[in-house]
Structure 1
Amino acid sequence: MTQALPTSIDDTLARLLAHDYVADRQLATVVFLALKLQRPLFLEGEPGTGKTEIARTLSAMLERPLIRLQCYEGLDLAGAAYEWNYGRQMMEIRLAEREDVGRDQLGAELFSERFLTKRALLQAIDPAQAVPPVLLIDELDRADEPFEAFLLEVLSDFQITIPELGTVKAATPPIVVLTSNRTREIHDAVKRRCLYHWVDFPNAARELEILRRRVPNAGAQLAQQIVAFVQKLREIELYKLPGIAETLDWARALMELDALVLDPELIQHTLGVLLKYQDDIAKVQGSEAARLLEQVRREAQTPV
């Protein structure tokens, strides 16, 4: 039994929050519209800003299955939508030869649904699905550009044309979420079929609320210092800025170390949780980390 769609932007905000997804109003608006208009939702932004988590949250919130297509270089139609089970087809041909089955009958049987291996895209629009799922097409920018052409029919009409079988069309459109970390530009033809939203890093207040919900055992002072320090880090020119996921991982790591507040030595020893490139770590560790922590402490003592 699925849950009803949100009835308003405020309802969308509240229901996302009930599943510990702290969205701003702009994101809640585009999510609400995508659900009401039955349009794919294209989310672009830096890694670790919560794009993938939106699909997971919608799946839980609406009690629908989540089907995830993780994109990668070389992904093609066989990996994303469907392929024929050639091994079973060969076995069927050998059996048919023994039983003297006619060619026309054999040809019709070989390219029936019985021999079709359904991948993520076809599973998502399968009219036999009891409940329309949430389809997550994750990190589309990692796939090759020609792959985007495969998606157009799915994004426009929620259907896939299989030359040997015909057109498979969803009885009820799935909820489709596409994400991109913008390592390359996605073709305009894909974007035109979607509602678009840029997911930015959260401000300090929203990130603190996320941290409180996801790591509730973190002390108030430690949580505030963690968020303030990460916010300062994002002002530095780094190869890879820490995302929300890194903030949460750092908080959990510091909890395991029984930390109550940040200190330079603690930051020095745990920078690898926040930063994933040695050049970034080398740039921050030592005096730079101490300087940022001093700013955090000074600003915390300054009355607002």
Structure 2
Amino acid sequence: MPLPTSIDETHALLSSGGYVADRALATVVFLSLRLRRPLLLEGEAGVGKTEIAKVLAASLGRPLIRLQCYEGLDVAAAVYEWNYAGQMMAIRLAEAGGGLDRDRLESELFSDRYLIRRPLLRALEPGEGGAPVLLIDELDRTDEAFEAYLLEILSDFQVTIPELGTVRAPEPPVVIVTSNRTREIHDALKRRCLYHWVDYPDAGRELAILHRRLPGAPERLSRDVVAFVQAIRREDLFKAPGVAETLDWATALVELDAVALDPALVSDTLGVLLKYQDDIQAMQGGRAKALLDEVRSAPR
């Protein structure tokens, strides 16, 4: 599928994949696609940053290549490594066969045959229907040394392999970088990207997301869930629930055949919505009931 040619087309593209985006997000996604610049998305966990890359890949009909970041991630896991076991086997077979040509053997050992491609290198290769969508997920979990390595890839869409030379992408991949902002991303990397902060949605957009993802939920329950989640995010919690938790909670309530919220149901299912015991204890009992009463008394 060709890339969208306008903001409205980009908004429709995201919508076709089930993503309810506001115009600001559709605009920055359009510019990222149009200018062929990586897009850095920051925001709290569970607000839908990763989902944007998934929806783009599915809607554009392109493969999704995901690099899940973690502490200690290095070039061997992210870019490439050599098949050392295969190389050692080739060396032993050559020695056993006699007539060893060292120069020829060396050129064969460090050839494409023994190269193991990891996500970043695979993302530089053409895919069916166009360049792939590369998702570099939770970059803030890595260290600054790995960030520095990414600079060449995100600016020139190439990597240098000492034994083979420079590998360049014939067509730049669509790059989405996400961060939960557990630490600041370096300015040098930010300069290579367009930037957007993905915030919690307002009540209207969150209800639209719930309708899209869980169309079978009773309307009153959907509205109660969204209103309660919007209210609980204003509380002093260690970790406010994201959209992912809203969807999980609504799904759980539907499984319990609920048609509306009541204090006992909220208290019994807070573990689906909140992920820290201190937050659950703070909200159980009277506070949850007070929030629910507040939600029901507010104009809809």
1:217 aligned partner, one-letter code: G
| Residue of structure 2 equivalent to 1:19 | 17
| Residue of structure 1 equivalent to 2:199 | 200
| Residue of structure 2 equivalent to 1:36 | 34
Please, which runs of 5 or more residues in structure 2 have no aligned partner? none
| Residue of structure 2 equivalent to 1:137 | 136
C-alpha separation in 2, matches of 1:15 and 1:162: 37
C-alpha separation in 2, matches of 1:236 and 1:92: 63
Structure 1 range deviating more: 247-256 or 137-146: 137-146
For residue 219 of structure 1, report the CA deviation from its aligned partner: 1.1
**Is the counterpart of residue 46 in structure 1 residue 39 in structure 2?**
no
**Is the counterpart of residue 253 in structure 1 residue 252 in structure 2?**
yes
**Is the counterpart of residue 182 in structure 1 residue 167 in structure 2?**
no
For residue 94 of structure 1, report the CA deviation from its aligned partner: 1.0
Give the secondary structure class of the aligned counterpart of 1:42. strand
**What are the residue-to-residue correspondences of 1:80-159 with 2, within 5 Å?**
80-99=78-97, 100-127=99-126, 129-130=127-128, 131-159=130-158
* Residues matched between the structures, number: 298
C-alpha separation in 2, matches of 1:269 and 1:101: 72
For residue 220 of structure 1, report the CA deviation from its aligned partner: 1.0
Question: Which string of whole-angstrom CA distances, capped at 9 and with x for unpartnered residues, describes residues 93-114 of structure 1?
Answer: 1112233231111111111011
Please, which runs of 5 or more residues in structure 1 have no aligned partner? none
Question: Which string of whole-angstrom CA distances, capped at 9 and with x for unpartnered residues, describes residues 36-59 of structure 1?
Answer: 000001000000010000000000
Picking from 52, 63, 66, the partner of 1:65 is 63
Give the secondary structure class of the aligned counterpart of 1:168. strand
Give the secondary structure class of the aligned counterpart of 2:150. helix
Give the secondary structure class of the aligned counterpart of 2:144. coil
Give the secondary structure class of the aligned counterpart of 1:125. coil
C-alpha separation in 1, matches of 2:83 and 2:12: 45
C-alpha separation in 2, matches of 1:171 and 1:226: 47
For residue 273 of structure 1, report the CA deviation from its aligned partner: 0.3
Structure 1 range deviating more: 104-113 or 205-214: 104-113
C-alpha separation in 2, matches of 1:158 and 1:101: 38
1:19 aligned partner, one-letter code: G
| Residue of structure 2 equivalent to 1:285 | 284
Question: Which string of whole-angstrom CA distances, capped at 9 and with x for unpartnered residues, describes residues 103-149 of structure 1?
Answer: 1111111110111100000000025x443110000000111221101
2:246 aligned partner, one-letter code: T
CA pair 126-15 structure 1, distance change in 2 beyond 3 A? closer
Give the secondary structure class of the aligned counterpart of 1:255. helix
C-alpha separation in 2, matches of 1:47 and 1:205: 20
C-alpha separation in 1, matches of 2:109 and 2:9: 49
TM superposition outliers: structure 1 runs of 4+ over 3 Å: none
For residue 271 of structure 1, report the CA deviation from its aligned partner: 0.1
Question: Which string of whole-angstrom CA distances, capped at 9 and with x for unpartnered residues, describes residues 211-260 of structure 1?
Answer: 00000011111101100000001101111110000000000000000001
1:4 touches 1:62 (CA, 8 Å); kept in 2?
Answer: yes
1:126 touches 1:168 (CA, 8 Å); kept in 2?
Answer: no
| Residue of structure 2 equivalent to 1:296 | 295
Q: TM-score, normalised by structure 2?
A: 0.98
C-alpha separation in 2, matches of 1:171 and 1:115: 22
Percent identity of paired positions between Structure 1 and Structure 2: 66
Q: TM-score, normalised by structure 1?
A: 0.96
| Residue of structure 2 equivalent to 1:78 | 76
C-alpha separation in 1, matches of 2:104 and 2:176: 41
C-alpha separation in 2, matches of 1:164 and 1:158: 19
C-alpha separation in 2, matches of 1:85 and 1:237: 51
Two-structure CA RMSD over aligned residues (Å): 0.9
